[in-house]
Amino acid sequence: MKVLVTGGCGFIGSHFIRVIFAERPDWQVINLDALTYAGNLANTLDIQTHPRYRFVYGSITDKDLVNTLVSEVDAVINFAAETHVDRSLMDNEPFILTNILGVQRLIDACVRHGKRFHHVSTDEVFGSLGPDDPKFHEATPYDPRNPYSATKAASDHLVRAAVHSHALRGTISNCTNNYGPYLYPEKFLAIAITNLMENRPISVQGDGRQIRDWITARDHALGILAIIERGQIGHTYMMGGDAELSIAQTARAVIKAMGAHEEMLKFTQDRPGQDRRYAINYSKISTELNWKPQVTFEQGLEQMIRWYQENESWWKPIKQSSGYRKWYEENVGRLT
Ligand SMILES: NC(=O)c1ccc[n+]([C@@H]2O[C@H](COP(=O)([O-])OP(=O)(O)OC[C@H]3O[C@@H](n4cnc5c(N)ncnc54)[C@H](O)[C@@H]3O)[C@@H](O)[C@H]2O)c1
């Protein structure tokens, strides 16, 4: 099996490639990545010289490049995306280009060459839940609330449409909040851990009661592998982590796991369009494909903290860059 992984220098894509090399000794991987601010070659440092790996620098919006690469593989797994909600509120154009046009380019090439396509999507397309609402499931109506989730919703619809109109051999997965090693330090858990390591507080937006369901990127990657191999064509599969926690509870869990003081938790102003609760019912993938998360939140958090402690050389250059410092001061708080 030869697969094209797009966005494999990002957080989850790089975990997926690592999972493939560990679990499927005969698979080959081409990684197509445009190396945006979120794409980091250091995420793939341990796999760059792997004999079954090839990196191609380029964009999923590049029609000719996509067409050529898709013709060379058996399947395409799309992780490439603009993914940060706050950035989508400031400038939606890269989101529309990559998350909509880019996905359509991949679909077109897979249809042209008759290739299997798996699209990695998010639970954010379903909007927000009230405290007592049932969890999101495969038939939950779409209700995106910000430009990021709206573009991801659009891409899901494009995949579904192509399954019907052009017999695309496509599947979709919608997953909840991922965490683990290599999480870019503009995402909450990575900021929280590295801030405590730098003796800075953890900032929580609003009242901190927004609920997220946390899953490790490795568990997510294992679920995607199961879908590619055994999922039903045209189907959507939801994945969650069995770890519904408010942001304030999550921050406190980090503080406790790192032995820091409660005073390191600070509350700041809410961002616009903040969703209150995400949670996933993953019974379909569990019943059909025998998938469930392998680690608890406590285990995953401990592994993540240890990784950040042992890999300062990965995150410190990011946090010290002028682009990151500017983003942090504009979105989180003053850096002294
Ligand atoms: N992070 C989460 O919690 C989460 C949860 C559910 C679903 N998802 C989905 O999983 C996927 C991966 O998320 P992530 O957190 O790893 O994202 P990320 O931002 O860490 O990585 C995205 C990668 O895509 C690359 N990329 C961006 N535009 C590109 C383009 N035009 N062509 C080629 N490459 C491009 C970037 O360089 C980067 O390497 C996304 O589609 C996201 O919507 C993420």
- In sequence order, which residues have a C-beta less than 8 Å from that of residue 167 and are 6 or more positions away? 111
CA distance 187 to 286: 28
C-alpha 261 – ligand 1 centre gap (Å): 33
* pLDDT tens string 239-264: 999 999 999 999 999 999 999 999 99
Q: Give the per-residue pLDDT at 330.
A: 86
Q: Give the per-residue pLDDT at 271.
A: 66
Tell me which residues of the chain have a pLDDT lower than 70.
271-275, 335-336
Domain map (residue ranges) of the chain: 2-179+216-239, 188-211+243-278+295-323
- Which residue, by CA, sits nearest to atom 25 of ligand 1? 7
- In sequence order, which residues have a C-beta less than 8 Å from that of residue 2 and are 6 or more positions away? 27, 28, 29, 30, 72, 73, 74
According to DSSP, the residues that pair with 212 across neighbouring strands are 245
Pocket test for ligand 1, best of 12, 62, 97 (most atoms within 8 A of CB): 12
Which residue from 250, 231, 283, 255 is spatially nearest to 177, judged by alpha carbons? Answer: 250
Is 35 near ligand 1, meaning CB less than 6 Å away? yes
Is 144 near ligand 1, meaning CB less than 6 Å away? no
Q: Give the per-residue pLDDT at 163.
A: 98
What value does the mean pLDDT of the chain take? 95
Q: Give the per-residue pLDDT at 336.
A: 59
* DSSP secondary structure letter of residue 277: B
Tokens of 198: 């730098």
Say which CATH architecture domain 2-179+216-239 belongs to: 3-Layer(aba) Sandwich (3.40)
Residues known to be catalytic: 123-124, 148
Q: Give the per-residue pLDDT at 251.
A: 97
C-alpha 9 – ligand 1 centre gap (Å): 9
Is 102 near ligand 1, meaning CB less than 6 Å away? yes
CA distance 65 to 9: 18
Q: Give the per-residue pLDDT at 272.
A: 64
CA distance 32 to 34: 7
C-alpha 52 – ligand 1 centre gap (Å): 22
Pocket test for ligand 1, best of 6, 9, 11, 304 (most atoms within 8 A of CB): 11
Locate the DSSP E strands across the chain: 2-6, 28-33, 53-57, 75-78, 116-122, 169-175, 177-179, 202-205, 211-216, 236-239, 244-246, 265-268
Specify the CATH superfamily of domain 188-211+243-278+295-323.
UDP-galactose 4-epimerase, domain 1 (3.90.25.10)
